[in-house]
Amino acid sequence: MARTRGSHSDITGPRVERAALELFARDGYAAVSMRRIAAEVGVQAGALYNYTPDKQTLLFSLMKSHMQDLLAAYDAWEAPDDPLGRLEAFARFHIRFNSERPAAVFISYMELRNLDPEHFAEIEALRRRYEGALVDILRDGAATGVFDVDDPRITAFAMIGMLTQLNTWFRRGGRLSLAEVEELYWSMLRRLVAA
Amino acid sequence: MARTRGSHSDITGPRVERAALELFARDGYAAVSMRRIAAEVGVQAGALYNYTPDKQTLLFSLMKSHMQDLLAAYDAWEAPDDPLGRLEAFARFHIRFNSERPAAVFISYMELRNLDPEHFAEIEALRRRYEGALVDILRDGAATGVFDVDDPRITAFAMIGMLTQLNTWFRRGGRLSLAEVEELYWSMLRRLVAA
DNA sequence: GTCTATAGAATGATAGAC
DNA sequence: GTCTATCATTCTATAGAC
């Protein structure tokens, strides 16, 4: 006795976001039409506008939610006080968090160019806060002599490039488990800063 | 006395490719219309079809040219025989080559999803050949004990992620010169494999 | 809250004149 | 080889019925 019409706002909203997330990640924001998102959810295109004022805002809110989740989860992540422990915590956090939501990660750096300038600036500010956390760790470690780092900023970029690239090839059920990958990456990061 | 009509095939062809490359890189394949490419070149949309059978083939040929240029340039690159020398040569080659053509690099890994399966397979094969060259270097170095590498394949991915990420922030005229960046990255890569 | 219907604009690609 | 003109389709977003 499935209702085909009526009120579903509590359930349709999340389904719209989920469908948009997956489709944007797979085919790209510009290539996905509102009709296709609606079809995925099982409603007509017009109904989507109960949940977003327009397509661009839908993209923006997906990216903003992702970045806020990322920062909140990182803030809540347990980490020791010493730079090496904090670096390890950052690495393991980044790998686990990103591996759990590949679509959102992918969108959040692939679709930046589809944001208008104000939205872009807002997302970039959140991203910089996250990257800044890693820069701080490297700076502290370099200052206390625990790390040997030529340029904390560049090293942080390189590390994030390394870690984020993981999402392009890692698949659950492949040759390596996530735990194994985590160890491999942590061992590489440690080498990068070893004094 | 600029001619506004007539035969220009020798000059228009490259201009179409150049315009498509820049626009695809800036706004994304799906967001760029044939009309906009034509406007950039200074012709009408219909004229583009003298140079490509369709939009997708235009994208594919840009990506294929780039990958072939990459492989040809790498094959021609001078490198010593020992693994450490070869790794250094790879790193410097990659940084210089990629920094000279950011638009083509960007497209070649951002727009893969807009290729149909046959085209995708062809580009992927070329990419694997290039990545394979780095894997071989790491394997040789590990086999002879010059490198300490846990997993050559993963390490190669990590290195390429690190190096490619460079294009997302490096700008000529910024805080660091390309030569300085090259040194920083080479020093990081060396640490990653140090026995 | 979802539907149908549609306005209004843009798209990829083709035909035929020059 | 390029132009103009156009076809057929698709798109985002809105209006109004239920």
pLDDT band with cut points at 50, 70 and 90 for residue B10: confident
Distance between CA atoms of residues A18 and A40, nearest Å: 10
Helix pair B152-169, A152-169: axis angle to 10 deg: 120
B188 shares a domain with B111:
yes
CA of B41 to C1' of C15 (A): 23
How confident is the model over B166-182, as pLDDT tens digits?
999 999 999 999 999 99
Tell whether A6 and A75 lie within a shared domain.
no
Number of domains in chain B: 2
Cβ–Cβ of A154/B176 closer than 8 Å? yes
Closest CA to A103 of A30, A167, A48: A167
Residues A118 and A142 in one domain: yes
Check residue A194 and report its DSSP letter. B
Within this chain, do residues B12 and B67 fall inside the same structural domain, yes or no?
no
In terms of domains, do A45 and A69 share one? no
Residue-wise pLDDT tens digits, A141-185: 999 999 999 999 999 999 999 999 999 999 999 999 999 999 999
Instruction: Report the interhelical angle of B55-76 vs B102-110 (nearest 10°).
Output: 120
Interface check for A179 against chain B (CB to CB < 8 A): the answer is no
A64 and A106, same domain (yes or no): yes
Nucleotides of C under 7 A from a protein CB: 1-6, 10-16
Q: Are B123 and B65 in contact (CB under 8 A)?
A: no
Q: Domain residues for A147?
A: 54-193
Specify the residue for token string 């394979």. Answer: B132
Same domain flag for A118 and A177: yes
Judge if B34 and B107 occupy the same domain.
Answer: no
What is the model's pLDDT at position B69?
A: 98
- Same domain? For A143 and A76 the reply is yes
**Does residue A6 surpass a pLDDT of 70?**
no
Q: Do residues A160 and A122 share a domain?
A: yes
Alpha-helical regions (H) of chain A:
9-27, 34-41, 55-76, 83-100, 102-110, 117-143, 152-169, 178-193
Are residues A189 and A160 both part of a single domain?
Answer: yes
CATH number at residue A34: 1.10.10.60
